[in-house]
Amino acid sequence: LPMLLRLSCVGLAFVCNAVMWTFFTKALQLSSSSAAASVTTTASNFIFSAILGKLLFGETWTPLWWVGLTMTVCGLMLLHTAAPQLVQVPAEKKE
């Protein structure tokens, strides 16, 4: 039984990583920059890990956790609502 439990945990970790990489590649395709996709995927990984920790293991969320979550969500909002900066390329002079 302990070996079966270990194998199922390893399998579950593999499935979770495969799902995360699938969503990450889709986010890279849909996002305007790779930084936005990377930050969003990392933040969602932390948030879902916390939720699963609460549901599966009964972990408690401290006030510091809520501060971190709030800062993460605010950072994501800033990242996704900021207007992209366009770089002006000077035209070459023709003589």
- Is 39 a residue whose pLDDT tops 90? no
Domain boundaries, the chain: 1-20+42-56
**50: buried, middle or exposed (CB in 10 Å: 19+, 13-18, 0-12)?**
middle
- Is 8 a residue whose pLDDT tops 70? yes
SS3 30: helix
Q: How much is the pLDDT for 87?
A: 60
**Mean pLDDT score across all residues of the chain:** 83
Q: What is the pLDDT of residues 51-77, one digit of tens each?
A: 888 898 888 889 998 898 889 888 888
Tell me how crowded residue 37 is: count the other CB atoms within 10 A of its CB: 19
Q: In what helix (H) or strand (E) does residue 40 lie, and over which residues does it extend?
A: helix 34-57
Give yes or no for a contact between 41 and 76, defined as CB atoms under 8 angstroms apart: no
Tell me how crowded residue 20 is: count the other CB atoms within 10 A of its CB: 15
Q: How much is the pLDDT for 86?
A: 61
